[in-house]
Amino acid sequence: MTDILSVQHLSAGYGNAVVLGDVSISLPEGQSLALLGRNGMGKTTLLNSIIGVTRRRTGNIVLGGVDITKLRPEQRAHAGIGWVPQERNIFRSLTVEENMTAVARPGPWNVARVYEMFPRLRERRANMGNQLSGGEQQMLAVGRALVLNPRLMLLDEPTEGLAPIIVQELMTALARIVRDEGLSTVIVEQHAHKVLQVTHQAVILERGAVVYAGTSAALMEDGAILERHLGVTAG
């Protein structure tokens, strides 16, 4: 199976600070990866490195067989990386529908399909971004990434600070995206048990290094690793 993403021996950070040291991960085409770890261990920095906004010291990043290490962030986006940051970054002065049509590219995902997956957004289609709840803004951020029709989608803490019912809605949508639709996805998430249920692979980062790489199913059953590195028990 061909890898959609290959990160090899990556060391990166911000300014003079090195956050990641010799990190290597890979993700087969059509699969999903849960990127786990306690706060401050380098998860967001790894995503930021993939989209090209950190200072790389060593290593390379390959997307679908093409080395994108030296590409600028906007070039990486055009190469097929979709990005849902913690800050969501929706256009607050545009309507829900305008937020998506402004960035949409041809492909299987369109505004109608996003509305089908997130009926709340259809109901709010004429509302401005700043009129949405936090959960609705997160759904819109995911929808905006989808209508870009990326080859690889990155999500950074998509359920952070959301009500449990919204968390469940988002996780159901993510399960469809990664399991039914087969969109290659990397998800940073604090709810380990929830994200492991919808992903194929899992990586745990600790102090900027990979301390676990394996299947999500195996990690869910390994209480010792979950407790040691994440402070949670097996499901």
Domains of the chain: 1-80+184-235 (3.40.50.300)
134-147 vs 164-175: helix crossing angle, rounded to 10: 10
pTM across the whole model: 0.94
Compute the distance between CA of residue 231 and CA of residue 235 in angstroms, rounded to an integer: 13
Contact 181, 30 (CB under 8 A): no
Give the pLDDT band (50/70/90) at residue 75: very high
Task: Give me the percent of the chain exceeding a pLDDT of 90.
Answer: 93
Contacts for 217 with CB less than 8 Å, ≥ 6 apart = 196
pLDDT over 90 at 80, yes or no: yes
Q: What is the DSSP letter of 129?
A: G
Write out pLDDT tens, residues 176-206. Answer: 999 899 999 999 998 899 999 999 999 999 9
pLDDT at 219 over 70: yes
AA letter at 28: P
Please report which confidence band the pLDDT of residue 72 belongs to, taking 50, 70 and 90 as the band edges. Answer: very high
Distance CA 124, CA 128 (A): 8
3-state secondary structure 167-209: HHHHHHHHHHHHHHCCCEEEEECCCHHHHHCCCCEEEEEECCE
98: left (phi over 0), alpha (psi -120 to 50) or beta: alpha
Strand order of the β-sheet with 66-67 is 17-28, 3-14, 55-63, 66-67
Reported as a pLDDT band with limits 50, 70 and 90, residue 235 is low
The pLDDT score that the predictor gives to residue 191 is: 86
Going by the DSSP 8-state scheme, the letter that residue 131 receives in this structure is G
